[in-house]
């Protein structure tokens, strides 16, 4: 569905700003209407992480040398402050949230979405698309969050064009395929999309609630909007950065994709100077099925950043220019981990912070701070109890290697570029699996424990570990299940997880305790895992026997087939026992029992060797 002749079209260039050359405008032919300049402010995947956190950045001291220092990072009150400031004086602004607003922090455990809705209503998003984690507690959990969001005066449109709720679902009438908003006297269509396979595998929508193919649903809704005279289309997706790029090429009529799900940091290459590694430029260039420009953006994770995309449309609704940047939100409270900064060093570092493209020194919004205060008190009352301490960084990584999921760690390049993590995967996922194994051994016996990578949500930095941090690490309402499985079934379960990884679900990557193996993703299905060994009661590593029976501990999400673990789901009858042991408590007890926790010896890491696809 071409909107104008395609001639003289230069490619988009640049990491911080993608601008079509002035010559392009002369190649577009006559316009049917007025051009429009639009600013899109966006957030994604904040996962109930409402409090500010800290991170390490490398900033220039007074001598001009870069030094690792600590700064405050993100927090929803800082997000609200940034959006307030960036909106100010702008005539045509959309404010969008690309999903996974809930689950991942004790705020959700305590309030089931009320806290997130309260803070989101200090911003007033024009639209929210449902992410997979909105369905972690079924249709009712998603509906409860939507109801909380509706209690404010913002009237945020909740979107998902490919969601098909079951008959009688509490979601009925609460979710739209798209919405149309007016800016500059012109209609703009916003279409929501939820990642289909991952939501069905990795979350818990009700039986009978389904998700249509994303491209099919998107094109149908785009066509319907175009038929109504809407010629500017924004997709608000929860699919992932790579999937968004692939989707753009399959669709006619799409102009902008504001995404989430993959927790992707986009931005300038200069981020590397301060210890951040972007996965691509902001905005990222693509072309739709008609060869027209599409601008793709994402804003990292956990309320750490707000994206600001500026788009110019011609009179036919075709993008002629797009530019912008992420705003990684920090304070100017710079400090060393040990030792005070001199006034000269502090001044130089703050100046360096303010000069960095993509970093924004941002004060929190007083209105949002006021809304958060009683919720924070509620959380603090429970979460402040110390249970132990970490003696070193326990890095978060879903998949080993240097290709997938390599910017997830909030601890920065100390984890994201770690040779140990690249070779063996996440330290913290491995430690959680070990905790599950030991809990299973205490209550009824266990030989092996399995844990899906995506079920572990945060790094653990050196320092105190509190109840709140444990429940942020393991925020879902899961219990431990004991399965009696043959060695052949254990191998098949690992293969299930790797199949899901290759389909784009990095959260399915398997971690294990009492079991180790080698992975080659280039091999055919059924042959990607090799050299399986289990640690017998005497502590020796011996080959896994395909015919022997092993007691396997897994969380009930995996045991129910989540993340594509069909082999685990098939274990039934006397071979399945729900222990009703809280999975987060298993890690809590592990930490309490030791006092201080550190990385496991490498011989205990489940992935002993990893080969990724080219």
Over the stretch 461-509, which tens digit does the pLDDT of each residue have? 999 999 999 999 998 878 899 999 999 999 999 999 999 999 999 999 9
Mean pLDDT of the chain: 92
Report pLDDT digits (tens) over 414-459. Answer: 999 999 999 999 999 999 999 999 999 988 899 999 999 999 999 9
Q: Domain for residue 200, yes or no?
A: yes
Looking at the structure, tell me whether residues 364 and 404 fall in a common domain. no
Q: Is residue 1 included in any domain, yes or no?
A: no
The answer to whether the CB of 254 falls within 8 A of the CB of 294 is yes
Residue 256 and residue 143 share a domain: yes
Read off the CATH number of the domain in which 499 is found. Answer: 3.90.780.10
Boundary-marking domain end, from 334, 368, 402: 368
- pLDDT, tens digit, for every residue of 155-210? 999 999 999 999 999 999 999 999 999 999 999 999 999 999 989 976 889 999 99
| Whether the predicted pLDDT of 24 surpasses 50 | no
Asked if the structure places residue 10 within a domain, the reply is no
Residues 206 and 337 placed together within one structural domain of the fold: yes
Q: Based on the domain organization, do 454 and 399 belong to the same domain? A: yes
In angstroms, rounded to a whole number, what is the distance separating the alpha carbons of residues 582 and 569?
Answer: 19
pLDDT band at 3 (very low <50, low <70, confident <90, very high): low
Residue 240's domain comprises: 19-368
Give me the residue label for tokens 């939501």. 199
Does 435 lie in the same domain as 295? no
What's the number of CA atoms in the CB half-sphere (13 Å) around residue 595?
Answer: 0
Q: Are 269 and 157 contained in the same domain? A: yes
Name 84's Cβ contacts closer than 8 Å, sequence gap at least 6: 365
| Residue 273: CA count within 13 A, CB half-sphere | 17
Q: Is the pLDDT assigned to residue 26 strictly greater than 50? A: no
435 and 324 share one domain: no
Helix (H, G, I), strand (E, B) or coil at 170: coil
pTM of the entire predicted model: 0.76
| In 185-240, alpha helices (H) | 196-202, 214-227
The 3-state secondary structure of 332-385 reads CCCECCCCCCCHHHHHHHHHHHHHCCCEEECCCCHHHHHHHHHHHHHHHHHHCC
CATH at 151: 3.60.21.10
Residue at 277 is within a domain: yes
Last residue of a domain, one of 368, 403, 429: 368
**Within a domain: residue 195?**
yes
Q: What is the pLDDT of residue 355?
A: 96
Long-range contacts for 415-418 (Cβ within 8 Å, ≥24 apart)? 415/459, 416/277, 417/277
pLDDT digits 0-9 by tens, 502-512:
999 999 999 99
Same domain, 514 and 415: yes
Please tell me whether the peptide bond between 283 and the residue prior to it is cis, using omega within 30 degrees of 0.
yes
Q: Is the domain of 37 the same as that of 159?
A: yes
Report CA dihedral (125, 126, 131, 137) to the nearest 10 degrees: 70
Our count of domains for the chain comes to 2
Which H or E run includes 494? helix 487-502
pLDDT digits (tens, 9 = 90+) for 324-373: 999 999 999 999 988 899 999 999 999 999 999 999 999 999 999 999 99
Query: Is 250 found in the same domain as 152?
Result: yes
Tell me: do 416 and 286 sit in the same domain: no
Helix, strand, coil content of the chain in percent (nearest 5): 30, 25, 40
Tokens of 286: 């693509």
The token duo for 347 is: 């001044």
Overall average pLDDT of the 564-583 stretch: 91
Given CA atoms 347, 350, 356, 362 in this order, what sign does their dihedral have?
negative
Looking at the domain assignment, is residue 298 inside a domain? Answer: yes
Inter-helix orientation angle 214-227/241-250, to 10°: 50
Do 360 and 430 fall within a single domain? no
State phi, psi for 252 to the nearest 5 degrees.
Answer: -100, 140
Residue 8 in domain: no
């Amino acid at each position: 569905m071409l909107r104008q002749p395609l001639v003289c079209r230069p490619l988009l260039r640049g990491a911080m700003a993608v601008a079509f050359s002035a010559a392009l405008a002369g190649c577009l032919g006559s316009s049917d209407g007025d051009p429009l300049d639009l600013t899109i402010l966006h957030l994604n995947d904040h996962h109930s992480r409402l409090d500010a956190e800290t991170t390490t950045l490398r900033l220039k001291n007074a001598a001009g040398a870069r030094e690792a220092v600590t700064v405050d990072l993100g927090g929803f009150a800082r997000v609200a402050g940034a959006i307030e400031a960036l909106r100010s004086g702008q005539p045509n602004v959309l404010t969008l949230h690309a999903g996974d607003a809930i689950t991942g922090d004790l705020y959700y455990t305590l309030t089931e979405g009320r806290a997130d809705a309260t803070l989101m209503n200090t911003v007033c998003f024009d639209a929210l698309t449902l992410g997979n984690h909105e369905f972690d507690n079924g249709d009712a959990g998603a509906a409860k969050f939507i109801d909380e969001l509706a209690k404010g005066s913002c009237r945020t449109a909740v979107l998902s064009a490919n969601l098909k709720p079951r008959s009688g679902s509490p979601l009925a009438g609460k979710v739209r395929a798209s919405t149309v908003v007016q800016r500059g006297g012109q209609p703009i269509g916003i279409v929501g999309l939820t990642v289909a396979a991952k939501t069905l595998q990795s979350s818990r929508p009700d039986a009978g609630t389904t998700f249509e193919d994303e491209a099919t649903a998107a094109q149908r809704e785009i066509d319907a909007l175009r038929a109504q005279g809407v010629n500017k289309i924004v997709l608000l997706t929860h699919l992932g950065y790579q999937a968004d790029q692939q989707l753009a090429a399959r669709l006619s009529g799409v102009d902008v994709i504001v995404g989430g799900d993959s927790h992707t940091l986009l931005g300038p290459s200069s981020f590397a100077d301060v210890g951040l590694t972007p996965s691509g430029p902001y905005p990222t260039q693509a072309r739709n099925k008609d060869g027209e420009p599409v601008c793709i953006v994402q804003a990292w994770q956990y309320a750490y950043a707000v994206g600001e995309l500026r788009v110019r449309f011609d009179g036919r609704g075709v993008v002629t220019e797009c530019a912008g940047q992420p705003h990684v939100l920090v304070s100017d409270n710079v400090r060393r981990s040990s030792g005070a900064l001199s006034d000269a060093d502090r001044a130089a570092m703050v100046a360096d912070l303010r000069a960095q493209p993509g970093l924004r020194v941002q004060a929190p919004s007083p209105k949002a701070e006021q809304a958060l205060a009683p919720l924070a008190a509620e959380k603090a009352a429970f979460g402040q109890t110390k249970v132990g301490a970490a003696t070193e960084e326990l890095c978060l990584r879903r998949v080993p290697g240097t290709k997938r999921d390599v910017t997830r760690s909030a601890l920065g390049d100390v984890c994201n570029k770690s040779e140990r993590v690249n070779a063996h995967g996440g330290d913290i996922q491995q430690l959680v699996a070990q905790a599950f194994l030991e809990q299973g051994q205490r209550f009824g016996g266990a030989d092996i424990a399995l844990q899906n990578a995506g079920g572990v949500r945060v790094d653990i930095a050196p320092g105190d570990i509190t109840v709140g941090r444990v429940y942020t690490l393991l925020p879902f309402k899961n219990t431990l299940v004991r399965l009696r499985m043959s060695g052949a079934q254990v191998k098949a379960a690992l293969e299930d997880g790797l199949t899901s990884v290759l389909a784009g679900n990095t959260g399915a990557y398997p971690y294990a305790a009492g079991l180790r193996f080698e992975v080659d993703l280039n091999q055919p299905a059924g042959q990607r895992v090799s050299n399986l060994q289990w640690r017998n009661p005497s502590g020796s590593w011996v080959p896994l026997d395909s015919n022997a029976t092993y007691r396997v501990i897994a969380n009930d999400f995996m045991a129910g087939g989540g993340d594509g673990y069909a082999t685990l789901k098939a274990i039934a009858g006397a071979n399945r026992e729900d222990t009703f042991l809280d999975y987060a408590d298993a890690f809590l007890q592990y930490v309490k029992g030791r006092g201080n926790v550190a990385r496991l010896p490498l011989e205990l890491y489940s992935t002993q060797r990893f080969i990724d696809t080219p």
